[in-house]
Amino acid sequence: MDRWIDRFCKVLDGLIALLLAVMVVLVFGNVVLRYGFNSGITVSEEVSRWLFVWVTFLGAVVAIRERAHLGSDMLVSRLPVAGKKACLVAGHLLMLYITWLFFSGSLQQARINWDVQAPVTGASVAIFYGAGVVFSVLAAFFLLLELVRLVRGKMADDELVMVRESEEQAELDALKARLAREDALLANKKQGA
């Protein structure tokens, strides 16, 4: 199942890159047209704003899966394993509740605005609020998967702290993990020789 989820996240990464590229083309093209030719792309601002919202929410889903959200682990990292597990369960339950609130609010707004047309594109404004609905469903799915892994005992102790103190620390941890894998491979080669 992890393989399918990883593939799904790769698809989301590709979609995010595509949406970001469309945003860049729209905004840059609009700037060039305005200053160079005294014209512009009418839908550029509205579509770019909507794409930015979708990129943000889809990126947040991928970040939940990759445990890439920034946070402070000053207290949790010092707790014993049982304390870390309790904090993880409490944090996930709170996040699931907030995700539920976000889902219900986004769904309500999408329903209210289903027949409302955007001023420039004429598209349904529900598309804008749909980002919140999609985020909530996917985020809840990933959070529930993590809780199931914890309850089944399939979560390693180093996975119990699910935030990153900083991006630099995350890069350093990834580098250390890669070096450890390379050292293990070298040790295996030496034993085989």
Domain ranges of the chain: 2-162, 167-193
Distance, first Cα to last Cα, the chain:
36
Comparing 138 with 157, the larger pLDDT belongs to 138
Residue 83 has a pLDDT of 82
- Distance, C-alpha 178 to centroid of its chain: 23
Do residues 51 and 23 lie in contact, with contact meaning Cβ atoms separated by under 8 Å?
Answer: yes
Residue 92 has a pLDDT of 87
How confident is the model over 151-164, as a mean pLDDT?
70
Element (H, E) at 171: helix 167-192
**Which of the given ranges, 100-114, 120-134, 179-193, has the highest pLDDT on average?**
100-114
Q: What is the pLDDT of residues 46-95, one digit of tens each?
A: 889 999 999 999 999 998 888 777 666 667 767 777 887 888 888 889 99
pTM of the model: 0.75
Contact residues for 43 (Cβ-Cβ < 8 A; gap 6+): 26, 120, 121
Residue 161 has a pLDDT of 67
Residue 170 has a pLDDT of 63
Residue 122 has a pLDDT of 81
How confident is the model over 114-123, as a mean pLDDT?
84
The model's confidence at residue 165, banded by pLDDT at 50, 70 and 90, is low
Does 173 score more than 90 pLDDT? no
* SS3 of residue 118 by DSSP: coil
67: left (phi over 0), alpha (psi -120 to 50) or beta: left
Residue 58 has a pLDDT of 93
Weakest-pLDDT range from 86-95, 98-107, 132-141, 180-189:
180-189
Report residue 155 as tokens: 């979560």
The model's confidence at residue 17, banded by pLDDT at 50, 70 and 90, is very high
* SS3 of residue 1 by DSSP: coil
- Distance, C-alpha 41 to centroid of its chain: 30
Backbone CA torsion sign across 177, 183, 185, 191: negative
Residue 19 has a pLDDT of 93
Percent of the chain with pLDDT over 70: 88
Residue 93 has a pLDDT of 93
Report residue 108 as tokens: 């309500």
Residue 181 has a pLDDT of 82
Does 96 score more than 70 pLDDT? yes
Phi–psi pair at 128, nearest 5 degrees: -60, -50
